[in-house]
Structure 1
Amino acid sequence: IERKKGLDAALAANPDIKLLDFQVANWKSTEAFDLMGNLLTRFGDDIKGIWAANDDMGSGALEALRAENLAGKVPIVGVDGIKTAVDAVRTGEFACTVTSDPFWQGGMGLAIGYNAKIGKFDPAKEPPEHREFYGKAVLISHDNVEEYYKTNVESKPEIDWNDLWGRVTGAIRA
């Protein structure tokens, strides 16, 4: 829901971009593949870019583009930063992907609980942005994909597990 709201806000801020269609592929690459094939038949050269609410659907769309020799010619934007999408950014078949850093999310979930348990802080006394929060998202594009690949795919990311709130960007908004 929030990802769709973000798309709608971006389209509203860029009225020169025309949304040809919006379809749901249920977070699955196989459904996105079939859907993209249908959209290519329906819209052809009018398709100038693809936004996918997750990288798996973006990967399915990419396979449909590959089948038509359009990979790298129609930019794809995905969300999640999975290795398949990062590889596609490296080859120029995805314009970018965005990751919310699941390695940090999972590890920090444990670090926060551990630090509360050992008495480093009292969760009840923390502000809302330390109780339910968004973490920093990272855009992975042509400009930074090689560095991201080296530090997050080929190796384990370096994270300071004592910096509990360093990547917090704010409290979750309803």
Structure 2
Amino acid sequence: MNKTFLLSMMVFAVALGCKSDAPDSSDDSAKTKNDKPRVALIMKSLANEFFSTMAAGAESHQTQNAEKYELTVNGIKDERDLSRQAAIVGEMVAAGVDAIVIAPADSKALVPALRKAIKAGVIVVNIDNRLDVEVLKQENITIPFVGPDNRAGAKKVGKRLAKELAEGDKVAILEGIRTSFNGQQRLLGFKEAMKEAGIEVVDSQSAEWETSKANTIASSMLSEHPEIKAILAANDSMALGAIAAIRSAARTKDVKVVGFDNISAVQEAIREAKVLATADQHGDQLAVYGIEAALKMLDDPSLAPEDVETPVDLITAASMNGESLE
């Protein structure tokens, strides 16, 4: 009986060994087939309509392509909260996402966190606000930028404004966050258009993309420079602040406003002749362009990261009515 028992145990052990050593090919293949790339969209403040529109566009795209990828949408409460946005990058890496599509709140400060993500094997695509080229070189990484030419877009807006002004007129500029590349480029575009038209920029200050701060600064500008004929705002949220300041100063008939982003509130302001023009960088599609670029890179890892320029269009009352801007 002892021999029979020992023989039975040996046969049982061999059987267990065969089962544990054999690869579970059915489970692995099922996992490979069912797993979809996980993409994290990391934006700036969702309190800004531009970014809530961006999020909605991305979510709509994922719904239409649910079989292709999964999407996680993140944003920060305050566009100046760089540490929180960097922390979100780390959280997404720890969560095991395959790609990060980011609209960085700062062109330099987010680069180290993104370098860590790349080192962890995550594909990174930069949208909306271009990361600083020199800092990317210092960190020895390449991150493709998918987005519009902000300088060209702002220049289009500035040139449209110049048609309403005379040579020698004075204007002021509400800048975005000064460490943001898109803010820098829009400022340059505005200044180029004014210089070419012989219009003087008498004041230029940062309102950090915020409506309330723009209202306060614009009020001060109008008080210190009563000769101002227009305010050029580097985003539409600040344009709304400028409108309120102009209304409070009883200057609605003689001070014009232009913006950048084409949010719904400014579309209405254009219809009401409170804003002359804005630029549409197609916020509802901007994240989609970035997601599609990330999916291509995930599908073919041999693809070299490369920039993609996306559209930016001038929006006026005429264009909204379907009239030619020529």
Q: For residues 55-79 of structure 1, give each alpha carbon's deviation from its aligned partner in whole angstroms, at most 9, with x where no partner exists.
A: 1111101001112232354211101
Q: Which residue of 2 aligns with 1:144?
A: 319
What are the ranges of 5 or more consecutive residues in structure 1 without an aligned counterpart? 148-174
Q: Which residue of 2 aligns with 1:9?
A: 192
Bigger radius of gyration: 2
Aligned CA distance change for structure 1 residues 72 and 118 (closer, same or farther; 3 Å): farther
Count of aligned pairs: 139
Q: Is 1:97 aligned with 2:278?
A: yes
Compute the displacement of 1:116 (Å). 4.8
Structure 2 matches for 1:51-130, cutoff 5 A?
51-71=232-252, 73-118=254-299, 123-124=303-304
Separation in 2, partners of 1:94, 1:140: 10
Q: Give TM-score, length-normalised by structure 1.
A: 0.71
- Alpha carbon RMSD of aligned pairs, Å? 2.1
Q: For residues 82-121 of structure 1, give each alpha carbon's deviation from its aligned partner in whole angstroms, at most 9, with x where no partner exists.
A: 11111111110000110211112112222333345456x9
Equivalent position amino acid for 2:236 in 1: D
> Which residue of the other structure, out of 229, 248, 270, is the alignment partner of 1:48?
229
Q: For residues 107-166 of structure 1, give each alpha carbon's deviation from its aligned partner in whole angstroms, at most 9, with x where no partner exists.
A: 2222333345456x9633x8xxxx21321101110112245xxxxxxxxxxxxxxxxxxx
Aligned CA distance change for structure 1 residues 47 and 31 (closer, same or farther; 3 Å): same
Separation in 1, partners of 2:309, 2:299: 24
Aligned CA distance change for structure 1 residues 123 and 31 (closer, same or farther; 3 Å): same
Check conservation: 1:81, 1:140, Cα contact below 8 A: yes
Separation in 2, partners of 1:90, 1:141: 9
Check conservation: 1:85, 1:94, Cα contact below 8 A: yes
Check conservation: 1:54, 1:79, Cα contact below 8 A: yes
Q: Secondary structure at the match of 2:315?
A: strand
Check conservation: 2:218, 2:242, Cα contact below 8 A: yes
Equivalent position amino acid for 1:132 in 2: D
Q: Is 1:25 aligned with 2:200?
A: no
Q: Secondary structure at the match of 2:251?
A: coil
Structure with greater proportional strand content: 2
What are the ranges of 5 or more consecutive residues in structure 2 without an aligned counterpart? 1-183
The worse-fitting range, judged by mean Cα deviation, of 6-15 and 79-88 is 6-15
Percent identity among equivalent residues? 24
Q: Secondary structure at the match of 2:201?
A: coil
Separation in 2, partners of 1:7, 1:80: 14
